[in-house]
């Protein structure tokens, strides 16, 4: 719908092209989400061996890292790369916050 609303010559100048979610996920999951999940799994493994205070500190440190991670949209078009990245990262953040809640 976005692409049809713009004149084809103008759309080309703006770089306003819509990339379907499935294509975006093929790039975002292996390059952003999987490395973050690996880091999160490493933190979870460490947490199991730490006392409660240090476990909370480790989870909070990961949460801070996650919240300060920057994502650059390679397409610079409609923002779909950013929206999908944000949604998937927010799901991971939910898991992190649940872990913090479980730790007290």
pLDDT in tens, the chain (104 residues): 555 555 666 655 555 566 788 989 999 999 999 999 999 999 999 999 999 999 999 999 999 999 999 998 876 677 888 999 999 999 999 999 999 999 99
CA dihedral 23, 12, 71, 97 (to 10 degrees): -60
pTM of the model: 0.81
Helix/strand/coil percent split, the chain, to 5: 75, 0, 25
Q: Is residue 36 within 8 Å of 89, Cβ to Cβ?
A: yes
Cα–Cα distance for residue pair 104/93, rounded to 1 Å? 17
């Amino acid at each position: 719908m976005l692409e049809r609303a713009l004149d084809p010559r103008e759309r080309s100048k703006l770089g306003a092209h819509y990339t379907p979610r499935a294509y975006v996920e093929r790039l975002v999951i292996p390059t952003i989400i999987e490395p973050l999940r690996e880091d999160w799994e490493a933190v979870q493994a460490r947490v199991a061996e730490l006392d409660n205070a240090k476990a909370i500190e480790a989870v909070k440190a990961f949460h801070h890292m996650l919240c300060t991670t920057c994502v650059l949209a390679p397409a610079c078009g409609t923002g779909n790369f950013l929206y999908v990245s944000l949604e998937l990262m927010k799901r991971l953040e939910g898991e992190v916050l649940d872990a913090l809640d479980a730790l007290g």
